[in-house]
Amino acid sequence: MLPTPKKYFLTAAAAEGKSKLTAFDNALLKGRIGNINLIRVSSILPPEAGIDENLEIPPGSLVPTAYGSIISDVPGETISAAVAVGLSEDSFGVIMEFSGKCPKEKAEEIIKEMVREAFETREKPLKEIKVASVEHRVEKIGCALAAVPLWY
């Protein structure tokens, strides 16, 4: 059984690379999560998890992470990624992730609505929404990434 994470942070970054994979890797590095092993998780923030913007995760760690990313090799194309954490007053939170061919403002609008819907569906009051987003205009091969890594 895995322990329940107690800390998290939101990150969003964009980068270019010589290949799609290196563009993704470079975005991870810019987002401070390039030297860890991401374990992709779905959308629930544990009840007692607190935000830690200065969190440093040891290199090589296996890290539960909710993330969205988009890679494009169309020069001039605008790509964006966003994550949002919806917090309740006294219970767990909800994490949503989005990526698409749109400006950052549109990604933020979409991600906030996704969080609102998640809380409405769960019939839970929404206290606060935290968002991280990024926009990137592709030069050759670009990646936009937004993530919420969870840690112990």
Active-site residue 35, yes or no?
no
Active-site residue 42, yes or no?
yes
Active-site residue 133, yes or no?
no
Catalytic residue chosen out of the listed positions 19, 35, 37, 91: 37
Residue 1 carries which side chain, given as an amino acid letter?
A: M
Catalytic residue chosen out of the listed positions 16, 43, 61, 88: 43
Nearby residues of 62 by Cβ (< 8 Å), 6 or more positions away: 36, 37, 39
Active-site residue 128, yes or no?
no
Question: What does the block give as tokens for 34?
Answer: 């390039």
Catalytic residue chosen out of the listed positions 69, 80, 97, 108: 97
Catalytic residue chosen out of the listed positions 42, 53, 54, 123: 42
With contact defined as beta carbons under 8 Å apart, do 36 and 61 qualify? yes
d(CA 82, CA 151): 20
Q: Where in the sequence numbering do the catalytic residues fall?
A: 37, 42-43, 97
